[in-house]
Structure 1
Amino acid sequence: MNLKLTAMIALVATVSCVMPAYGFNPEDLHRLKTTKNCPGCNLEGADLQGMDLRSSNLKQAKLKRANLKNANLQGANLKRSDLRRANLQEANLTEANLIGARLNNADLWLARLWGAYYDEGTRFDTGFLPISHGMRKSE
């Protein structure tokens, strides 16, 4: 009995170490690429670098740790999306809807945020001043 239990624990531990702790849904990625309409999609950790996602619907999308470097998200709906630890370096977020989005620990280096909407529910790193980046506060 102990031998079976030990073997089971070893198997579970091995599988847990091999499987990533997070991952995107390939079907969601395909939907985003073909329709630009992917509300609630799981794109956690996906490589979206340089993609043209203008006016896309990513409302409540899981984009944690996603690579969005140099992506064009102009006018995109990112309302209540999870963008924690996402790479948004040099991304174009002009006039994007970031109301209620979670941007904690997101890399916003040289991101264009002019006219992007935020509210009290939008989460940024301590010390980040949205108004100084030309963002608009929604009431």
Structure 2
Amino acid sequence: MIQEIAQWIQQCAKAPVALAVVTACISTFVHGSGAYALDEDDLQRLLETGECPGCNLQGADLRRLDLTGVNLEGANLKKANLFYTVLDGANLSGTNLQSANMAYARAIPLITDAMDETGESVVIPAQFIGANLASALMNYADFSGAEMMEADFEEAYIFKTQFVGSQLQRTNFEITFVHDVDLTDANLCGSTYWGGNDYRRACNVPVSDLEE
């Protein structure tokens, strides 16, 4: 941030203008940056309705909240604090969770009171399809049964986290710290891991289809 402000000052100072114009340049930069900060109205909407697709919740403090079944599809949760947050059955597909704190978070399937045609309870998995989880902190979390296809975990810190039965097809684990993680029955078909290699075991589609 400091370097970016300095660059703006230098750019403004190159023009034959007075100090007032330089000040205006700085003001423009600061207010422009603020456009990406947390939108308090969006936060209130999430807390009141549980529906906030596309919302701007950058840096939001959502620690220890029960956000079961919320819709945050395509939302901006960059650098948000989701420490111990419950996200069972929540929809975070396409969400930006870059550098978010998801330590001890839980995002397991939600068993509803509704019944399907066979008389079984309808189960809604937590969804992170195509989510950006780059550089996220994900230690001691539980994503068992979550749908996380095509998610990006690059440079994320994942320690003692559960992905039991999770759908992790075509995910990016390249340059990711992964240690003591439970991937029992997880589907990793086509995921990219260390060295840029594709995970091909237990794939339900031919290798040729993965390469198209």
Structure 1 length as normaliser, TM-score? Answer: 0.84
* Structure 1 position 43, deviation (Å): 0.3
Aligned pair in 2 of structure 1 residues 21, 107: CA closer, same or farther (>3 Å)? farther
Structure 2 CA distance for aligned equivalents of residues 105 and 138 of structure 1: 17
Aligned pair in 2 of structure 1 residues 27, 80: CA closer, same or farther (>3 Å)? same
More strand by share: 2
CA offset digits 1:8-41 (Å, max 9, x no partner): 1123325645865841111100000000000111
1:68 aligns with 2:74: no
Structure 2 CA distance for aligned equivalents of residues 46 and 122 of structure 1: 21
Q: Which amino acid aligns with 2:47?
A: K
Q: Which amino acid aligns with 2:58?
A: E
CA-based RMSD: 2.7
* Structure 1 residues not aligned, in runs of 5+: none
Structure 2 length as normaliser, TM-score? Answer: 0.57
**How many pairs align?**
136
Contact 2:36 2:56 in 1 (8 A): no
1:90-109 to 2 correspondence within 5 Å?
Answer: 90-95=104-109, 96-109=126-139
Is the radius of gyration larger for structure 1 or structure 2? 2
Q: Give 4+ residue runs of structure 1 displaced > 3 Å after superposition.
A: 14-22
Q: Which amino acid aligns with 2:154?
A: D
1:19-98 to 2 correspondence within 5 Å?
Answer: 20=34, 22-95=36-109, 96-98=126-128
Structure 2 CA distance for aligned equivalents of residues 21 and 40 of structure 1: 14
In the other structure, the counterpart of 1:133 is 163
* Structure 2 residues not aligned, in runs of 5+: 1-15, 110-125, 170-212
Greater RCO (CA < 8 Å, at least 6 residues apart): 1
Identical counterparts, % of pairs: 35
